[in-house]
Amino acid sequence: MTSNNLTYRKSGVNISKADTFVKFISSATKKSRKSGDFKNIGGFGAISKVPKKLKDPHIVTSTDGVGTKIEIANDLGKFDTIGIDLVAMCVNDLVVQGAKPYLFLDYISVSQINLRKLKSLVKGIIKGCNLSGCNLVGGETAEMPGTYSKGKFDIAGFAVGLVEKKKILHKKISNNDLILAIPSNGLHSNGFSLVRYILKKNKINFKKSKFLKEELIRPTKIYVKELNILNEKNLINGCANITGGGLVDNIRRVIPKNLTAEINLNNIKTLKIFKWLSKKGVSDKEMLKTFNCGIGFCLIIKPKNFRQVSEHFKNKFKPYIIGKINKNSRKIKLSGKVSW
């Protein structure tokens, strides 16, 4: 006999909770100063105007996630900052190209919808969008029982930016340019699988450590505001977002042929969390390859612009010189040693 009592909800998917969550997002984005011109949340697609003030606009896109930092959030039961991380990981890549973030969408996949958790997460996403000057215009929340174990979830972000053709940051780096380090806010959102391995291996309950709790959940710094101002004033020749792969791999991506970035590791100002990780047995090579080590972003500028560039950053994030550009076929040349 065939049962007539089979429902989607019995399989683990709660459509009514999903609808409640969508209504919350719609309400929350309306309260934001950057909620867009159309009622996009809950629709089939997001509609946005192309700014008329751009004469020769080019689109820049980026997508990213926050990796296993999600597990730290789950362990702490704190979800109001990883939404900021999600936005930061996407929009910080856009400004490398000189673009201003314009639109943001998110994808959230969960075992079961927990409204308290998801509302907290979205509040962080909205805050990140406000910090970067873009609009949260839509997204997707997928309830996937059986794919994720109880309480587990994943998030991804998608950002769209716009830039005038003449403001695109490429092919501007030249001999004798300075390489500046802009301090990070901590770990940002990279290297957490290694961090969690260290915690497990050393049997460290980080929830009992005020220092580790604060450092491991601290949100990624969003560099959009400062970088967009500098680019408008033509003060940047190139830049790099220091994420997965660390300083060397990310700087290498923007150095043109026949030029080299000569970096003095002695100049790097590390943060306490990286000193802690180094003391747990991570080699210098692995530290530089896995973590930002205190440098969240690098700028490449003309020496004459250093003072003017520096004026646009608050004390904690004041840029400082770590190297210069010289003629050479070798893209990266390191000297010195990081002081842990």
Q: Which two tokens stand for residue 52?
A: 């008329």
Residue 71 lies in a domain: yes
Supply the range of the domain harboring residue 203: 178-335
Q: What is the pLDDT of residue 35?
A: 43
Q: What is the pLDDT of residue 337?
A: 95
Q: How many whole angstroms separate alpha carbon 231 and alpha carbon 239?
A: 11
Nearest to 273 by CA among 209, 179, 178, 200: 209
Residue 139 lies in a domain: yes
Same domain for 305 and 211, yes or no, is: yes
Q: What is the pLDDT of residue 34?
A: 46
* C-alpha distances in Å from residue 233, one per residue of 38, 76, 133, 200, 308: 32, 42, 18, 48, 10
Q: How many whole angstroms separate alpha carbon 102 and alpha carbon 21?
A: 24
Supply angle C-alpha 253, 167, 315, rounded to 5. 75
User: How many structural domains is the chain composed of?
Assistant: 2
pTM for this structure? Answer: 0.89
Same domain for 243 and 152, yes or no, is: no
Report yes or no: 251 and 298 within 8 Å, Cβ to Cβ: yes
Report CA dihedral (255, 260, 262, 265) to the nearest 10 degrees.
50
Same domain for 153 and 185, yes or no, is: no
Same domain for 231 and 307, yes or no, is: yes
The residue out of 98, 133, 166 marking a domain boundary is 166
The residue out of 166, 186, 210 marking a domain boundary is 166
Q: How many whole angstroms separate alpha carbon 155 and alpha carbon 107?
A: 6
Residue 296 lies in a domain: yes
Q: What is the pLDDT of residue 50?
A: 79
Supply angle C-alpha 282, 286, 292, rounded to 5. 100
Same domain for 195 and 272, yes or no, is: yes
* C-alpha distances in Å from residue 65, one per residue of 6, 135, 142, 223, 291: 35, 18, 16, 17, 16
Return the CATH number at 120.
3.30.1330.10
Beta strands, E only, the chain: 57-65, 100-110, 135-143, 153-164, 178-183, 238-241, 259-264, 295-301, 320-327, 332-335
Nearest to 183 by CA among 296, 291, 309: 296
Q: List, run by run, the mean pLDDT of 10-residue segments along the chain (340 residues).
A: 62 66 67 53 70 88 96 96 98 96 94 90 95 91 86 94 92 94 97 97 97 98 97 96 95 94 97 97 96 98 97 94 93 94
Which 3-state string (H, E, C) describes 156-189? EEEEEEEEEHHHCCCCCCCCCCEEEEEECCCCCC
In Å, how far from its chain's centre is CA 293?
15
The residue out of 140, 166, 192 marking a domain boundary is 166
